[in-house]
Structure 1
Amino acid sequence: MRKGYMKAAVFKDIEHIEIEERPIPECPEEGVLVKVHACGICGGDIRNYHNGLKDGIRDQVMGHEIAGEVVEAASDVRQFKAGDRVALAPDVSCGECYYCKRGMVNLCENHRMLGTHFPGGFAGYISVPKIVMERGFIEHIPEGMSYDHAAFGEPASGVLACQEYNQVSYGDTVVVIGDGPVGCLHMEVAKARGAKKVIMLARGRMKQAEKFGFEYIFNNKNLEEATNKVKELVGPGADIVICAVPNTAAQQQALELVRKRGRVVIYGGVPKSNPMTTLDSNKIHYDEIIVLGAFSYPGTGLYDALQAIHNRDIHAEMYVNGKVNLENLVNGMEMVTNGEAIKVVVDPWM
């Protein structure tokens, strides 16, 4: 590779990623230049690979679960300097819309993302401009934490925010539908928050999930059978059911498992080509069930997640069990899809 250049995995079109040699970006004014040491493969990356980026964007470097080292900081940047280890998360808010003015930055009407609207972390370096410094997420990595584990802070951020918003607390019964990294995170976080009983409905990755030592894991390939097994455990129903899978069948199943005045949380985004769901509105009405979505996290989200990992409330080493280089990015996506790994991290320098 030529001096002053880096490798980058570039999304060209649906199911078409090319490895390119690109010039290392310059450090922007009022920004920093970060050498990427780890970038996690998100379920959203996999959906985007198969379905396309938002707004039809092409020729873009994907990847948004990022950890690396600041190699250069603009002279007017005070909070970061060369040599600092940092983690980044994707959301960039505008600061001006109705929701931003009220602190709900995750619901920004002009929401943009690293890896979609800005170049992401599937590359040797990432340029972090002023708008991302001010309206995005960049945090110092706690001392002693690896880059791989710091990159896991981003997916953990949304789970922590979801359970805080829904007030999962001591004595609750929580059902999680989904056995991927997000499903396992919801299980672990619910236990850390004091939930009395935490139950997972799993499919392709049961063996991976079983390594966490969760007390209740049921195979969800037969929805009716799995639903009946959970009902035997939860009496009148679960206090909260979290759908952490990208399909709509789980949402109807969740209604069957939640108690009256319980909560069903739709956490997993579904394919844009088929986003519609059918729910029993009479059950929602007569049982006074709350059905709501959960997306992203507040301004403290990434910091909170890094602290939770640092404090061992979340055990990142249990999740990050696959690593690939840029050339094998698509293979890494397949490892996640096939259940060979819970979380795969890309190292651009392998």
Structure 2
Amino acid sequence: MKVARFYAPGDLRIEDAPDPVPGPGDVKVRVRNCSTCGTDLKIFRHGHHHIDPPRVIGHEIAGEVVEVGADVTGWSVGDRVQVIAAIPCGECPDCLRGWRTICPNQLSMGYHFDGGFAEFMVVPDRVLRVDGLNRIPDGVGFAEASVAEPLACVLNGQELARVGEGDVVVVVGAGPIGCLHVRLARSRGAEAVYLVELNRGRLDMAAALVKPDAAICSAETDPVARVLELTGGRGADVVITAAAAGGAQEDALRMAARRGRISFFGGLPKDNPIIACDSNLVHYRELTIVGANGSSPDHNKRALELIATGAVPVDDLITHHLPLDRVMEAIEVVASGAAIKVTIEPPC
């Protein structure tokens, strides 16, 4: 079979590899779609401290079962499945409290285990033990199902920020995550959703698809002033920073309404993670700042349902479909900002 295997920063190779063999507690899957994300670009450029090369990367995975281990029950050849990316242990104090997104023993597909940029892959028993292999609902295609993983992360973030009926929501960042945030906020009853983005071309492309109530180019307009203008000086109930920019997080504090909730959804570069926080704004306006770290197996299941019911459409966000042997081109497209979502489709 063909795989895309990461060896070192800048070194990602399309190679022939033997088909993987599932163990007694594993499931073997034919990958039908593995969508790309900004993390794949970061891995390609810089590597990752959880990856011990060589490693098949790719973690937004959907496919069909082709072989079931001897000890596995409940799964059959031909089942259409989506695979979680972040794998909690299910046994630590945090997991037992239901906080599986912050499991200190978390492992990940495409990092600790070979991922989805391959024709076939093994879903390890650790995924099955935490109910992390999910049936794709009828009517949902493999490409759409592969977007359930990032949507699950978005769902986690909006639950933590308590996005709900009547909220005015600002989403900073018009990439695929930002687009999903706009659509999910609408499905959760937001009164208005504003999209902020530095790059005019990326903003226009995203806004044409997700149709925010206002599209604000922060290279042309002060986004804080514009949000305050749109809200009659009150500010936004929720601000979600879906961009790896400290300036966006600082702006979020200034555009939030009293008792506003701010989600630091996008992490900052590890060599520059410090921002200037006006703690008086937090104190006197009673602001809440929350983080958001990935998703749980349950978030993945609910994300699939949101896609299946049409509450959060994702098909039109997939702007590029590329075969496995063009995975480098896919990563370049992600880097260029010329796409919303790029999916890899290994040969059947």
TM-score normalised by structure 1 residue count = 0.94
1:271 CA drift (Å)? 2.2
Per the alignment, residue 84 of structure 1 pairs with 79
**Is the contact made by 2:161 and 2:262 (CA closer than 8 Å) also made in structure 1?**
no
Per the alignment, residue 18 of structure 1 pairs with 13
**Is the contact made by 1:92 and 1:136 (CA closer than 8 Å) also made in structure 2?**
no
Per the alignment, residue 140 of structure 1 pairs with 135
Q: Deviation string for 1:297-350 (max 9, x for gaps)?
A: 233111101110010011111211101222321221221232221000011218
Secondary structure at 1:83 match in 2 = coil
1:228 CA drift (Å)? 1.3
1:277 CA drift (Å)? 2.2
1:94 CA drift (Å)? 1.5
In the alignment, which of 111, 128, 134 is matched to residue 116 of structure 1?
111
**Is the contact made by 2:262 and 2:290 (CA closer than 8 Å) also made in structure 1?**
yes
Answer yes or no: is 1:160 the counterpart of 2:155: yes
In the alignment, which of 200, 218, 226 is matched to residue 229 of structure 1?
226
1:273 CA drift (Å)? 2.8
Structure 2 CA distance for aligned equivalents of residues 89 and 167 of structure 1: 23
Per the alignment, residue 326 of structure 2 pairs with 328
Per the alignment, residue 126 of structure 1 pairs with 121
* Unaligned stretches of 5+ residues in structure 2: none
- Structure 1 residues 193 and 55 mapped into 2: Cα distance closer, same or farther (>3 Å)? closer
Structure 1 CA distance for aligned equivalents of residues 110 and 324 of structure 2: 15
- Structure 1 residues 216 and 88 mapped into 2: Cα distance closer, same or farther (>3 Å)? same
Structure 1 CA distance for aligned equivalents of residues 285 and 104 of structure 2: 33
Answer yes or no: is 1:206 the counterpart of 2:203: yes
- Structure 1 residues 62 and 170 mapped into 2: Cα distance closer, same or farther (>3 Å)? same
1:63 CA drift (Å)? 0.5
Secondary structure at 1:275 match in 2 = coil
1:262 CA drift (Å)? 0.9
Structure 2 CA distance for aligned equivalents of residues 111 and 257 of structure 1: 34
Per the alignment, residue 301 of structure 2 pairs with 303
Structure 1 CA distance for aligned equivalents of residues 277 and 43 of structure 2: 26
Structure 1 CA distance for aligned equivalents of residues 73 and 301 of structure 2: 18
Secondary structure at 1:209 match in 2 = helix
Per the alignment, residue 250 of structure 1 pairs with 248
Secondary structure at 2:222 match in 1 = helix
**Which residue identity is paired with 1:35?**
R
Per the alignment, residue 214 of structure 2 pairs with 216
Structure 2 CA distance for aligned equivalents of residues 163 and 285 of structure 1: 22
1:100 CA drift (Å)? 1.1
Identity %: 36
* Unaligned stretches of 5+ residues in structure 1: 1-5
**Is the contact made by 1:84 and 1:140 (CA closer than 8 Å) also made in structure 2?**
yes
In the alignment, which of 286, 289, 296 is matched to residue 287 of structure 2?
289
1:160 CA drift (Å)? 1.5
1:295 CA drift (Å)? 1.4
**Is the contact made by 1:201 and 1:226 (CA closer than 8 Å) also made in structure 2?**
yes
Per the alignment, residue 145 of structure 2 pairs with 150
Structure 1 CA distance for aligned equivalents of residues 51 and 300 of structure 2: 28
Structure 2 CA distance for aligned equivalents of residues 277 and 29 of structure 1: 48
**Which residue identity is paired with 1:26?**
V
- Greater Cα shift, 269-278 or 97-106: 269-278
Q: Deviation string for 1:122-151 (max 9, x for gaps)?
A: 111111121121136210111121110010
Structure 2 CA distance for aligned equivalents of residues 191 and 185 of structure 1: 10
Structure 2 CA distance for aligned equivalents of residues 144 and 194 of structure 1: 25
**Is the contact made by 2:236 and 2:255 (CA closer than 8 Å) also made in structure 1?**
yes
**Which residue identity is paired with 1:307?**
E
Per the alignment, residue 318 of structure 1 pairs with 316
Secondary structure at 1:303 match in 2 = helix
1:231 CA drift (Å)? 1.0
**Which residue identity is paired with 1:213?**
K
- Structure 1 residues 77 and 56 mapped into 2: Cα distance closer, same or farther (>3 Å)? closer
**Which residue identity is paired with 1:201?**
V
Per the alignment, residue 41 of structure 2 pairs with 46
1:294 CA drift (Å)? 0.9
Q: CA RMSD in A?
A: 1.5
